[in-house]
């Protein structure tokens, strides 16, 4: 036993020697108060001591209630209802507008504060005024919610009735409290460890930890004792730096288009309604242009392009072009001037057509890959923010079979040999198609996006005549979900650092 003890002592690192005298503290926090090491270093030292059979480590999963983003702010500045009731208590009666202005609360905080105070019967709302209903002494006292926030963080366990009441109220509000799963590390000394802490560890501190070039040159190491190293212990895993997995796939997709002879087109995330909708022959009363589908930029208007193009687009909408009837309505310039977050990258395609005409660049092939935004109901296959890959081929001899060829080639290079192509409808293409992929987990065909050939109502206002344009715009995020094993689109934007470290490198 004496020999074994001595060998272990000679293998102790400086951090292990630092915490050994305080192992009887029984907790990470207890040791942290005694030694000048952070919790990560202490935990690492405990793991080494566990390998040496000095301590026994146990991990317990526990739900911990912590302050959320808003909770951290409210603990310092006071809950919204506290700010509001202080103003009301000072005057007994105040208008809604004045109370909101003086409190400095945003719309959501102000509404929440009103709701809380009414629920507690502290105020009444009469003719646009807030009137104090409770006694002022009761207002001075801290609320159950305020007292509860002061106790955090704490375990999610058995609550006293008043704590349970405060927890339920705060949980229903946005980002005030956050319940997280945490791993609690506990440790205890083994019988061997109890013997070790009685030993004199000071001599071990004189051993050489590492060999340096200067030490070798000077011969300082001669006659010295080196610390024993445990070459069998596991080492911490190192997570190397890498690009975000979505960016890896984006780079790869761009490489595919470039190899296929396409040039890249780029543009702003914010677009006018003219380029996002009107130039693409989307009627101004089409449902996609309503607030339900599109994010509009408030109090902003955009400058429209040259009058000749605007006039041609207006004519296509109102009366039609090259034999079509158009949409048969009065086209409004003010609707085209509205500013939106682009709902598709196809707005870049139609702007590029204008540049192609100006530069007399025929034939031409362009692609884009970028963010789009739609006011969607978020679920496993839909998000309000997504990447889309866009492409156009402008050529007098372009045909529909070539469009199918481009799509099949691109998807094959992205890892999809089998895709389903079916007829579709878009206001700005005819014929049109939809591209589907079968999802192996959800057991259903998932729409990847649309494609088609631009209608004359799109091309003639720009070119002055109809020139065939192949166009496509499948959703890119859905394309890469299967490769990364993602079954819920929302996982792509959570950026959980642990999951990002585990995510495999894109490779096709």
Q: Are residues 319 and 390 in the same domain?
A: yes
**pLDDT at residue number 287:** 85
Identify the CATH number of the domain in which residue 166 sits.
1.10.10.10
Residue 116 CA to residue 94 CA, distance in Å, equals 17
Residue 223 lies in a domain: no
Q: What is the DSSP string of 331-388?
A: --HHHHTEEEE-S-THHHHHHHHHHHHHHT--SEEEEEEEEEE--PPPBTTB-SEEEE
Grade residue 318 by pLDDT with cuts at 50, 70 and 90. Answer: very high
Q: Structure tokens of 381?
A: 């296959």
Q: Which domain holds residue 25?
A: 2-54+190-218
Q: Are residues 202 and 152 in the same domain?
A: no
Residue 73 CA to residue 6 CA, distance in Å, equals 53
Q: Are residues 361 and 482 in the same domain?
A: yes
Range with lowest mean pLDDT among 14-28, 134-148, 159-173, 463-477: 134-148
Residue 443 lies in a domain: yes
- The residue ranking higher by pLDDT, 359 or 62, is 359
Q: Which of 144, 172, 200 is the last residue of a domain?
A: 172
Please, what is the angle between helix 245-259 and helix 400-413, to 10°? 140
Contact indicator for 489, 466 with CB cutoff of 8 Å: no
Q: Are residues 255 and 385 in the same domain?
A: yes
Q: Are residues 101 and 8 in the same domain?
A: no
**pLDDT at residue number 265:** 96
Give tens-digit pLDDT for 361-405: 999 999 999 999 988 777 776 778 889 999 999 999 999 999 999
Tell me: pLDDT of 475 over 70: yes
Identify the CATH number of the domain in which residue 481 sits.
3.30.930.10
Number of domains in the chain: 3
- The residue ranking higher by pLDDT, 351 or 476, is 351
Q: What percent of the chain has pLDDT over 90?
A: 38
Q: Are residues 146 and 41 in the same domain?
A: no
Q: Are residues 390 and 480 in the same domain?
A: yes
Q: Are residues 365 and 278 in the same domain?
A: yes
Grade residue 508 by pLDDT with cuts at 50, 70 and 90. Answer: low
**Among 339, 334, 328, 348, residue whose Cα is nearest residue 279:** 348
Q: Are residues 340 and 403 in the same domain?
A: yes
Give tens-digit pLDDT for 232-265: 766 667 777 888 889 999 999 999 999 999 999 9
Residue 13 CA to residue 33 CA, distance in Å, equals 20
Grade residue 437 by pLDDT with cuts at 50, 70 and 90. Answer: confident
Grade residue 90 by pLDDT with cuts at 50, 70 and 90. Answer: confident
Q: Are residues 399 and 360 in the same domain?
A: yes
Give tens-digit pLDDT for 323-342: 899 999 999 999 999 999 99
Give tens-digit pLDDT for 183-234: 778 888 888 888 888 888 776 667 887 888 988 889 888 888 888 877 776 6
Q: What percent of the chain has pLDDT over 70?
A: 97
**Among 407, 409, 464, residue whose Cα is nearest residue 432:** 407
Give tens-digit pLDDT for 425-436: 998 999 999 998
Mean per-residue pLDDT of the chain: 88
Q: Are residues 112 and 254 in the same domain?
A: no
Give tens-digit pLDDT for 284-293: 998 888 876 8
Q: Are residues 301 and 417 in the same domain?
A: yes
**Among 476, 299, 469, 452, residue whose Cα is nearest residue 372:** 476
**Among 280, 274, 266, residue whose Cα is nearest residue 459:** 280
Tell me: pLDDT of 296 over 90: yes
- The residue ranking higher by pLDDT, 482 or 216, is 216
**pLDDT at residue number 233:** 66
Sheet of 154-155: strand order equals: 154-155, 55-67, 177-189
Residue 297 lies in a domain: yes
Residue 232 lies in a domain: no
């Amino acid at each position: 036993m004496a020999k074994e003890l001595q060998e272990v002592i000679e293998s102790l690192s400086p951090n292990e020697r630092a915490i050994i005298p305080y192992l009887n503290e029984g907790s990470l926090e207890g040791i942290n108060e005694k030694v000048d090491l952070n919790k990560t270093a202490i935990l690492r030292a405990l793991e080494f001591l566990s390998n040496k059979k000095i301590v026994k480590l146990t991990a317990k999963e526990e739900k911990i209630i912590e302050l959320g983003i808003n909770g951290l702010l409210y603990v310092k500045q006071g809950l919204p209802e506290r700010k509001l009731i202080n103003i009301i208590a000072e005057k007994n009666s105040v208008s809604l507008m004045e109370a909101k202005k003086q409190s400095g609360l945003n719309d959501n905080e102000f509404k929440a504060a009103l709701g809380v105070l009414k629920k507690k019967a502290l105020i009444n709302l009469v003719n646009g005024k807030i009137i104090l209903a409770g006694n002022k002494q009761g207002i001075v006292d801290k609320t159950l919610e305020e007292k509860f926030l002061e106790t955090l963080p704490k375990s999610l366990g058995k609550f006293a009735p008043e704590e349970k009441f405060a927890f339920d109220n705060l949980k229903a509000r946005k980002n005030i409290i956050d319940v997280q799963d945490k791993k609690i590390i506990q440790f205890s000394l083994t019988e061997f460890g109890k013997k070790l802490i009685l030993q004199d560890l000071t001599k071990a501190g004189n051993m050489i930890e590492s060999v340096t070039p200067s030490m070798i040159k000077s011969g300082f190491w001669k006659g010295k004792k080196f610390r024993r190293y445990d070459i069998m212990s596991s080492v911490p895993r190192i997570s190397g730096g890498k690009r975000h997995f979505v960016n890896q796939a984006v780079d790869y997709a761009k490489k595919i288009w470039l190899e296929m002879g396409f040039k890249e087109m780029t543009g702003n995330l914010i677009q006018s309604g003219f380029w996002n909708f009107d130039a693409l022959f989307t009627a101004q009363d089409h449902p996609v242009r309503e607030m339900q589908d599109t994010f509009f930029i408030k109090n902003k208007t955009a400058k429209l392009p040259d009058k000749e193009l605007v006039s041609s687009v207006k004519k296509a909408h109102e009366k039609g072009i090259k034999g079509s009837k158009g949409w048969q309505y009065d086209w409004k310039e003010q609707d085209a001037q509205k500013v939106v977050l682009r709902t598709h990258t196809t707005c870049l395609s139609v702007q590029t057509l204008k540049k192609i005409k100006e530069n007399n660049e025929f034939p031409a092939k362009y692609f884009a890959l970028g963010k789009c935004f739609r006011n969607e109901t978020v679920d496993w296959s839909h998000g309000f923010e997504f990447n889309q890959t866009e492409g156009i081929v402008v050529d007098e001899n372009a045909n529909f079979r070539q469009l199918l060829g481009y799509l099949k080639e691109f998807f094959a290079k992205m890892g999809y040999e089998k895709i389903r192509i079916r007829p579709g409808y878009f206001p700005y293409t005819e014929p049109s198609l939809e591209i589907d992929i079968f999802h192996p987990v959800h057991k259903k065909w998932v729409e990847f996006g649309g494609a088609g050939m631009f209608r004359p109502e799109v091309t003639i206002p720009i070119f002055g005549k109809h020139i065939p344009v192949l166009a496509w715009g499948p959703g890119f995020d859905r394309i890469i979900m299967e490769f990364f094993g993602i079954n819920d689109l929302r996982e792509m934007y959570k950026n959980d650092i642990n999951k990002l470290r585990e995510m495999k490198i894109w490779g096709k």
